[in-house]
């Protein structure tokens, strides 16, 4: 499973993130962007970082997804059969900044319509008040926790209030 690969990339057992209920629920979103007659004047979706642990995205052959890399917007070229995996803000919190939330946007195009499909991996609503913080196995005297524990509902409320910019959300949870 995908969560096994992410757990292993963090240096954890392959079932670790599943065992702490990070991937108990999925949310699916389908996006439709009609062709834009003046794409230079519009955005398909503004810059943001997804709030949950992980997002898996399938985009069509038109593309238009861009990721922020070293303060420059880079177009993510569509590749047939490929999945795009973005880390979310909550993954940044529990990984103690080992993984960074991916800031991205969708630019408008005159070509279209554009379709994409995203699946967000998140805890179950049964765990909405469960405290999540930096994974203890990732911490050490040389790598102390950067964030306090928070429940998913509190985190999402802050995300909704502050906006989807990681620089405006995570400071509220810094120790």
Q: What is the mean pLDDT of residues 131-146?
A: 94
pLDDT in tens, 4-26: 888 899 889 898 888 888 888 88
pLDDT band for position 70 (cuts 50, 70, 90)? very high
Question: Residue 141: is its pLDDT beyond 90?
Answer: yes
pLDDT band for position 94 (cuts 50, 70, 90)? very high
Domain ranges (residues) in the chain: 25-173
Question: Residue 164: is its pLDDT beyond 80?
Answer: no
pLDDT band for position 1 (cuts 50, 70, 90)? low
Query: May I ask the CATH class of domain 25-173?
Result: mainly beta
pLDDT in tens, 71-89: 999 999 988 889 999 999 9
């Amino acid at each position: 499973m995908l969560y096994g690969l992410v757990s292993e990339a963090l240096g954890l057992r392959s079932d670790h993130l599943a065992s702490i209920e990070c991937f108990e629920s999925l949310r699916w979103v389908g996006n439709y962007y009609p062709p834009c007659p003046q794409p230079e004047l519009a955005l398909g979706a503004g810059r943001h970082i997804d709030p949950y642990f992980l997002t898996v995205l399938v985009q069509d052959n038109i593309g238009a997804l861009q990721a922020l890399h070293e303060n420059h917007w880079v177009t993510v070229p569509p590749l047939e059969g490929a999945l795009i995996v973005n880390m979310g803000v909550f993954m940044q919190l529990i990984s103690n900044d080992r993984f960074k939330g991916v800031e991205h946007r969708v630019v408008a195009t005159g070509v279209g319509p554009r379709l994409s499909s995203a699946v967000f991996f998140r805890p179950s609503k049964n765990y909405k008040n469960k405290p999540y913080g930096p994974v203890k196995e990732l911490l050490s005297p040389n790598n102390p926790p950067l964030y306090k524990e928070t429940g998913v509902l509190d985190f999402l409320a802050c995300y909704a209030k502050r906006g989807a910019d990681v620089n405006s959300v995570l400071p509220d949870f810094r120790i």
